[in-house]
Amino acid sequence: MVGSSTSRLVATFACTAVVFALGACSSDGGEALEGAPNAEASGRPSGGDPTPDAGAPAQTAPPTTPPPTTPPPASEPKKMLWGVNGHTLRQYYPVSQTEAIFRLLHDNGLKTYRFDVPATATDVLDAIVPLAKQYGIALRPMLYPTSKITAYNLAKRYAADIQIWEIGNEVDLQPELVESRIPEMVTTAQGIQQAATELGLPIKTSINFTNCNSDDLGGRCGGDPNGDLWFLDKAWNAGFKFDYITYHWYPYFGDKGYWYNMYFGQMRAAATKYKTHIFFNEVNCGDVYHGIYDGGHPGDGACYDSIRQLFTEIQTNYADIIDEVDMYELIDQPNNPGVEAHFGLRYDLTNPKPLFDLLVQTAAK
């Protein structure tokens, strides 16, 4: 799913050739998997670098970047969309299980499903798109950058059912590769936007960036309170006129206060500059990286409480900019190495962890 300076351990998934997983690495080995943020993504300075009613499409960016606000004024909570990440085509997410997944989401009031998809995987999309429609699930595909014509054809093929395409995943985590990757992101976006214009349909695009510790002066956003907003600026100026912005962060219970101000501030700065809304589409507790694999429990002062606290903060102070929240990920993948096997909100489709129930309860509010 997701994926460098270091202190909030966020391990990057190994890239595989054609993996259909949320935010997984691209077939060229470029992007980190969507649900496995690497150390840099969470970056706290301890030992190193550490639809949808989504608002107006992005406008021309102002010439300057506003500083992030620290806790913003309380906003009136609104009904936002809640969902999960998944990895269709992997061993524990076979296409044959898709209907059971969508039924589970539907029956529990979860509305969105994020997954990564190669542009050539039309056979998979042909199978799951009708099921998503049947169960009222909004698909949020993360598309690996491709050619303009391929993106154009893909957007047209699924124009009636897929309204938002996320292009690329955690590209900002490898600053040295940004310049070489943005051009293909631009052509992919242009293909989708051309299809939208020709069809007269509101097909949108989104771009992703991850939380970045601005206190780490040797890191990728050192000294910049806006974090990796520089990456969005580069993509926009190169011609990727994205409509929405997505964000990844794996918080800890002790983050409320200083770290909340930093990372929520980065989201608000991006939403303000580009006059758009945020999809917080990859999140789980950082404690997974420290061996808490069961989702914790109420009152643990760790994994469970960190996510409950985060959800309260979102609904109380950031509902004006955050439209969707997707937790990473639906079920464990026991064949993954190390901690990457344990990010599931459920052990499998039958056995939930406490965090799944917390997500469902929050979505029902």
> For the chain, which domains are there?
39-65+83-363 (3.20.20.80)
pLDDT at 160: 97
Would you place residue 323 in the very low, low, confident or very high pLDDT band (cuts 50, 70, 90)?
very high
Half-sphere exposure for 130 (CA within 13 Å, toward CB): 6
Residue 79 pLDDT class (50, 70, 90 cuts) = confident
Answer yes or no: is pLDDT of 357 > 60.
yes
- Distance (Å, whole) CA 332 – CA 338: 12
Whole-angstrom distance between the N-terminal and C-terminal Cα of the chain? 27
Closest by CA to 189, choosing from 238, 223, 234, is 238
The reported pLDDT for the residue numbered 78 is 56
Q: What average pLDDT does this structure show over 47-71?
A: 39
Specify whether the CB–CB gap between 259 and 48 falls below 8 A. Answer: no
pLDDT recorded at residue 192: 99
pLDDT of residue 65: 46
Neighbouring residues of 248: CB distance < 8 A, sequence distance ≥ 6: 2, 23, 34, 37, 41, 170, 208, 209, 210, 211, 281, 282, 283
- Specify the amino acid at residue 148: K
Q: Is the pLDDT of residue 27 over 50?
A: no
With bands split at pLDDT 50, 70 and 90, how would you rate the model's confidence at 20? very low
pLDDT at 218 over 80: yes
- Of 62-76, 194-208, 303-317, the one with minimum mean pLDDT is 62-76
Assess whether pLDDT exceeds 90 at residue 23. Answer: no
Q: Where are the beta strands (DSSP E) in 144-258?
A: 164-167, 204-210, 244-248
79 close to 285: Cβ distance less than 8 angstroms: no
